[in-house]
């Protein structure tokens, strides 16, 4: 089942134009695959001087990780907050995202983790590989409970 942007907003803390993913195409316990055309949007809040650097592909990937966590979390729970604490082996294969005509496919694959820290491998493609790397995310505990 494909999830649209409204469903994505229920899973992550990002709102309005800061929600950068359009759809979730696939997910299971280990990975999530999302698609978006938000890199082409002139209203993208990450643009600077009307351009979107490929380094911002990391934010697209981080949102895919957040979506994955939300999909695997308890139903009805408020979106959790994760802090991106480490990036490793990141390779940018292009300079800018806004010049890519194809939709971006954003994949996050859980490598390991527990209730406090998760490690993901990620890739962003647009017919060709755009960015890849690994990220560690520190999960903030809810103050309720």
**pLDDT score at 87:** 97
Q: What is the mean pLDDT of residues 125-140?
A: 95
**CA-CA distance, 2 to 123, in Å (whole number)?**
20
Kindly tell me if the per-residue pLDDT of 143 is higher than 80. no
Q: Measure Cα distances from 31 to 24, 46, 138, 143 in Å.
A: 11, 25, 18, 28
What confidence category does residue 30 fall into, taking pLDDT thresholds of 50, 70 and 90?
very high
What confidence category does residue 74 fall into, taking pLDDT thresholds of 50, 70 and 90?
confident
CA angle 140, 143, 145 (to 5 degrees): 120
Using the structure block, give the residue that is written with the tokens 């590989």: 129
What confidence category does residue 15 fall into, taking pLDDT thresholds of 50, 70 and 90?
confident
**CA-CA distance, 21 to 64, in Å (whole number)?**
8
The CATH fold assigned to 5-139 is: Thiol Ester Dehydrase; Chain A (3.10.129)
């Amino acid at each position: 089942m494909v999830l649209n942007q409204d469903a994505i907003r229920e899973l992550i803390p990002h709102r309005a134009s800061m929600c950068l993913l359009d759809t979730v195409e696939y997910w299971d316990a280990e990975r999530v695959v999302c698609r978006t055309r938000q890199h082409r949007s002139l209203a993208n809040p990450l643009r600077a001087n009307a351009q979107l650097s490929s380094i911002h592909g990391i934010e697209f990937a981080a949102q895919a990780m957040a979506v994955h966590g939300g999909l695997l979390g308890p139903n009805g729970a408020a979106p959790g907050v994760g802090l991106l604490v480490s990036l490793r082996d990141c390779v940018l294969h292009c300079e800018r995202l806004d010049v890519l005509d194809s939709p971006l496919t954003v994949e996050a694959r859980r490598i390991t983790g527990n209730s406090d820290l998760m490690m993901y491998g990620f890739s962003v493609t647009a017919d060709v590989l755009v960015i890849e790397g690994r990220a560690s995310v520190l999960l903030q505990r809810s103050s309720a409970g």
